[in-house]
Structure 1
Amino acid sequence: MNTQLQTIQFHNQSLVTFEQNGTHYTAMKPICENIGLDWTAQAQRLKRDEILNSTMVIITIVAEDGKKREMLCLPIQYLNGWLFGIDVKRVKPEIRETLITYKRECYQALFDYWNKPRQQPLPLAEAEADEEAIRIIANLYHSLRGAFEMGEKIRKQYPYFAKEIDKTIGGHYLYNLNHPTEQALEKAKRYVQAKSERIMFIKGMLSLLDEQPQPKRLANF
């Protein structure tokens, strides 16, 4: 089973979690070790519990030493069922506070990781990144356009020079160079125009909200 494991930080400790068939799981051994519980005893306890045993899964991972290891995992919604079955008064005094912290906060941390919406890039930030790229493309466009027009001028107005170039270099050099160049220029033009309109729309809407001056066109063709 190939599972994409995720690691999140919880009170400067690591929790291992993953999603499988729409269910979110967490690896139990790291949690036991973080708290300071004996893993062997807790694994046996998990297997003895009818509900927990029926919901847990075992995945195989490749450890740092290159060897395969089995990892027992529990759906996060059943994590508190296991945690609250551990009597704080019966564990070693030095791990009681950690156990209480895990009882109070661990499930919520895992739940929030999977359910809180991921922050999406703001439209303005995207527009500003596109704006810089368009300026670069526009500068390249005008430079390449100048070279293209020079080639066309030589080919049409100075056919003698064009023939000499073809004769010296070989083949229909100017035509073979200018034809794909013209296609590339047209594609670049359409791309910049489309992006410019989108950026102007975003900035225009924001300027209405902020009462700022209307944005200017980025490139002229």
Structure 2
Amino acid sequence: SGYIDPYYFDSGEFTTASDVFSFGVVLLELLTGLQAFDSSQRALDRKLFKRARRTVVPVDPRAGFDEARETLLRDLAMECTAEDIEERPGLEDCIARLLGEVREAEPDVVPPPAPAPAPAQRVRECVVCMDAPPRTRFSPCMHSACCEGCAGELMRRASSPRCPICRERIRSFEVGDFIDTSGTPMERGGGGGDGGGGEGVRSPDERYVDQLASRH
């Protein structure tokens, strides 16, 4: 009774066909909503198999199976619980038939490709104070490297303001959001217009920019 294979119960010989029988009982439970064995109602399992043998399986409407799935599960359950163990399918066949039903039920939809991760964006800071975004752009060199406060102070206090990036003389600056044009500060080499040796001689304006940075 219940999940026990009658062949095993009668002969004492356990085979994989006995597992197939138990699997078929589980399928019948899914279809009918009935229990294979209930100690309070021992005739339940006998009634279940009696109906299965007549191919009239009382399908539980709560299961929500459509007609095609009901037919598949009912036929497979009946084959698995066949009295003759030679008529029972193998476990591999049971799985293949169920998986085939799942594949047919699911639409063959190709998921959209995952969006490419956004490139890491470097946080831009004023090259003088290192405390505010560089929302100015110098003219004529077009470098965006200083915040509005540092750019304004540079223009007011330096007699000949120069860009802290390229050292070109600054005529004016504009305020706004600009692309990163700062690059890396250029080092002055020897033999330039200021004369001097290997490190070069820094102009008063260049020293003033350094003083601004040191104050912050």
TM-score range, shorter chain: under 0.3
Higher Cα Rg, which structure: 2
Q: TM-score, normalised by structure 1?
A: 0.20
Q: TM-score, normalised by structure 2?
A: 0.20
The structure in which a higher percent of residues are helix is: 1
